[in-house]
Amino acid sequence: MLAAIAIERARAFENESRAEAARHSEQLRTTVLDGLAHAFKTPLTAIQTASSGLVELGGLDQDRAELASLIQEQTRQLNQLTTDLLQMARIDAADVRISRERVDVADVIDEVLAKARTQYPTSDEHKGTTFFFALPRWTGGR
Amino acid sequence: MTAPLATILVVDDEAAIRCALRTTLTGMGFAVAEAANGEVSVEMARTSHYDVVLLDINMPGMGGVKTCRELRRLLPSLGILMLTVRDSEEDKVEALDAGADDYVTKPFHVRELAARIRAAVRRARTPGDEPGAPIRIGDIEIDPDRHLVRKAGQTVHVTPKEFELLHILMSHPGVPLTHTRLLRTVWGPEYGGELEYLRTFMRQLRRKLEEDPSAPVYLLTESHIGYRFADIEQ
């Protein structure tokens, strides 16, 4: 009986250590991801500045202009991937802080719509939507 | 040889970014000088004239925010654009509260950056209006002396607080003003966290001044940061 309890405790201890080790390793992984994502932004900025500069300065023939645009487009995609990676790292590290404040739901909806218009300027999904401003106030986070 | 459009000081610890900016902006007609850190940039600004400083927020040593504060103290009319790598609202608010005119998030498109530079140059070169002078931007006009607001020539009735809020925003066209700055200027120094007030008053102003209040053209929201009155060239 005593031997069984000792074995169980040892197992529990081992499991706990494993969980702790797993947590540390997860933390390390997200820190590395976060650092990498930030480090990527510097060369991305130089590439984006140089390629969009080439286009803006003009004087490129059609082939060269096409290649410069290709670099720009791919840089934009790489930047988006890096941003997604950063956000995932933050979520994994549970580093998502909600700042609670009294909000007016209509304002939040307006803000979301304004962002959607910027991100999807050609989408028709938000058009023709009306919101009433007599909505109650809620405590929420963004 | 034509005169440069403006003189820009690029402050960034990354040589590749300085090089890309110098080459591109020079090609676009600006005169460009460089500094690899905040300390050097402050010394350069003391001895030479620059219209606008492009200042990286995240640098070793003095750092972008402290450099911005020092540059603003030395040269109140200098245009300061912060370059931020992190898409963090806290950084942007800190930079704006330290005296930056605007911020651009890296990586940026050169066309967008050049537009921001031109707007900053225009502001830096426009002598400050008399406090009571009327301001007209697009269809909207505000006359502080007569306490009047007009939209396309028609008088719009606004409350005193709406008037004050509109006045500070229109006095800084194109400049993002933080929630804290707006609250302290309009409501008083003991305010700062009452975002509800701002949202309510901005909503009222948009109803009165915008064609479509849910898609504002003049009174723009800077998410999590504050508000900006559109910089529309006359």
Cis-peptide, bond into residue A121, ω within 30° of zero: no
At how many degrees (to 10) do helices B64-74 and B89-97 cross? 20
The whole-model pTM stands at 0.72
Is B7-125 assigned to CATH 1.10.1760.20?
no
Q: Report whether pLDDT(B144) > 80.
A: yes
pLDDT, mean of residues B1-12: 88
Q: What percent of chain B is modeled with pLDDT above 90?
A: 51
Mean pLDDT score of chain A, rounded to an integer? 73
Judging contacts by C-beta atoms under 8 Å, the chain A residues touching residue B215 are 114, 117
Nearest to A52 among B85, B111, B200 (CB): B111
To the nearest whole Å, the CA of B75 is away from the closest chain A CA by 28
Distances (CA, A) of A89 to A20, A29, A31, B13: 19, 8, 7, 26
- Chain A nearest-CA residue for B14: A42
Question: Residue A56 and residue B111: Cβ atoms within 8 Å?
Answer: yes
Q: A with B: how many residue pairs have Cβ under 8 Å apart?
A: 87
Question: Residue A104 and residue B108: Cβ atoms within 8 Å?
Answer: no
Is residue B41 within 8 Å of residue B24, measured between CB atoms?
Answer: no
Which range has the top average pLDDT, A1-15, A26-40, B9-23, B204-218? B9-23
Question: Residue A110 and residue B214: Cβ atoms within 8 Å?
Answer: yes
Q: What is the pLDDT of residue B56?
A: 93
pLDDT, mean of residues B12-16: 93
Can you give the residue ranges of every domain in chain B?
7-125, 135-229
Residue ranges matching CATH 1.10.287 in chain A: 1-97
Is B135-229 assigned to CATH 1.10.10.10?
yes
Mean pLDDT score of chain B, rounded to an integer? 89
Question: Residue A45 and residue B24: Cβ atoms within 8 Å?
Answer: no
Question: Residue A102 and residue B110: Cβ atoms within 8 Å?
Answer: no
Question: Residue B215 and residue A114: Cβ atoms within 8 Å?
Answer: yes
Judging contacts by C-beta atoms under 8 Å, the chain B residues touching residue A53 are 20, 23-24, 27, 110
Nearest to B24 among A56, A110, A142 (CB): A56
Q: What percent of chain A is modeled with pLDDT above 70?
A: 57
Q: What is the pLDDT of residues A104-133, one digit of tens each?
A: 777 777 777 776 766 666 655 555 555 454
Who's near B98: CB < 8 A, 6+ residues apart? Answer: B65, B66, B68, B69, B72
Question: Residue B107 and residue A48: Cβ atoms within 8 Å?
Answer: yes
How would you classify the pairing of strands B226-229 and B177-178? antiparallel
Of residues A141 and B39, the one with the higher pLDDT is B39
Nearest to A101 among B23, B114, B195 (CB): B195
Of residues A98 and A137, the one with the higher pLDDT is A98
- Chain A nearest-CA residue for B111: A56
Complex-level ipTM: 0.72
Nearest to B108 among A48, A133, A142 (CB): A48
To the nearest whole Å, the CA of A83 is away from the closest chain B CA by 9
User: Quick one: CATH architecture of A1-97?
Assistant: Orthogonal Bundle (1.10)
